[in-house]
Amino acid sequence: MKEVKEKKKINKKNKKKVDDKYLYRTVTKITISEFKKFQKFYLNKFKSSLLPKIIMALLAITAIILNLIKGNLDIVLLVCAFIVVYPILLSITLNRQIVKMYNSNKRINELDEIITFYDNYLESKSSHNYCKILYDDLYKVCETKTNFYIFVSDNQAFIIIKNMLEDVDLFREFIKNKTLYRKYR
């Protein structure tokens, strides 16, 4: 494992120095781009059910087939246009909502968050907050091509950018052993 860094604390009872050795430390700048990646991951993996999409596809196919049989080419073209335009409008609307959400929360705009991993807990520090969380208290950890998302609840997560880690493979093994871990492609 990589060289272990030390953090010195003073034990108030005994006035002795106590060493907390951290294993990993990373800085995440929460940009609009990183915020969008997280929101899209969250919405696609956890909140959008496949069933409504299947039902809409079946209804569209049924409408096309029935109207082709009846010779209503205008309706067929209208349904085909809907199939093309609807996902585009949905994507534009989603992007606008994400940007609005990001801009409305001044606590995360371009925030530098330092996340330090110790043997039994992680620590997060920024200009707006500080927290210490035991690994057992984490909700789950998800990995994508570019990031790790360390969820503290169903809808809140620390963003760990892989490019900011010295050794992604070692970190992956470390976090797998400490938490409930899932990989997404």
Give Cα separations from 24 to 18, 54, 73, 107, 167 (angstroms): 19, 43, 62, 24, 10
For the chain, the domain total comes to 2
- The answer to pTM > 0.85 is no
At which of 55, 79, 104 does a domain end? 104
pLDDT for res 116 = 95
At which of 86, 104, 122 does a domain end? 104
CATH number for position 120? 2.30.29.30
59 and 123 assigned to the same domain: no
pLDDT per residue over 56-106, tens digit each?
888 888 888 888 888 888 888 888 888 889 889 988 998 999 999 999 987
At which of 84, 104, 124 does a domain end? 104
What residue numbers bound the domain in which 97 lies? 36-104
pLDDT per residue over 128-146, tens digit each?
889 999 999 999 999 999 9
Nearest to 36 by CA among 122, 135, 88, 103: 103
77 and 115 assigned to the same domain: no
pLDDT for res 35 = 92
